[in-house]
Amino acid sequence: MYLTISGKCKNVDRNTIKDAVTFFAEYFDIDDKNFDLYLDFEKNLKKSSGDEGYCVSEGSRQYTISIDNGFSKRKTLIALAHEMVHIKQYVKRELTHNERKKLSRYKGVIVEDKQQLLYWELPWEIEAFGRELGLYAMFMENIKNKS
């Protein structure tokens, strides 16, 4: 994994961000996979788009995570944990999107855009929301144990 961080996170230093990304990647056993991860902290992302963060597969094993830069440390790391679940889904090919055909495939099950599932009902979001707090807690415990 090759990590590039852009933008400034107001409440979390870069070393903690790098440690968190590494921790989540190791937890998901994707740290040794060959992919590029671009992590961007955007000013006013939540205000401008309504999103706290999002993850995009750019193709050719390149992925981008964007997170609002003004969140508290806790909220930033929880958002990062959530988006790292999506990175795991992409890297392990559990989640794919086909924009041309307007469908996604999650763990072998096709989800068509025309099904109009609510965001909260999308199976990849159910996994990400279900894991984010536990991942955050494990990371914080890891930091505490290192001190």
Strand order in the sheet with 53-59: 2-6, 36-42, 62-68, 53-59
- Per-residue model confidence (pLDDT) at position 99: 82
User: Which tokens in the block code for residue 39?
Assistant: 């992590």
- Tens-digit pLDDT profile for residues 54-66: 999 998 899 999 9
Residue with tokens 């930091």, as numbered in its chain: 143
d(CA 135, CA 129): 10
Strands 36-42 and 2-6: parallel
Residue 94: give the domain boundaries.
Answer: 2-146
d(CA 98, CA 113): 10
- Tens-digit pLDDT profile for residues 97-133: 888 888 899 999 998 877 777 888 899 999 999 999 9
Task: Look up the pTM and report it.
Answer: 0.94
pLDDT, average across residues 8-13: 95
Total Cβ atoms within 10 A of residue 77: 26
118 and 103 Cβ atoms separated by less than 8 Å? no
User: Which tokens in the block code for residue 130?
Assistant: 């279900």
> How many structural domains compose the chain?
1
**CATH code (residue 59):** 3.40.390
Residue with tokens 């994707």, as numbered in its chain: 30
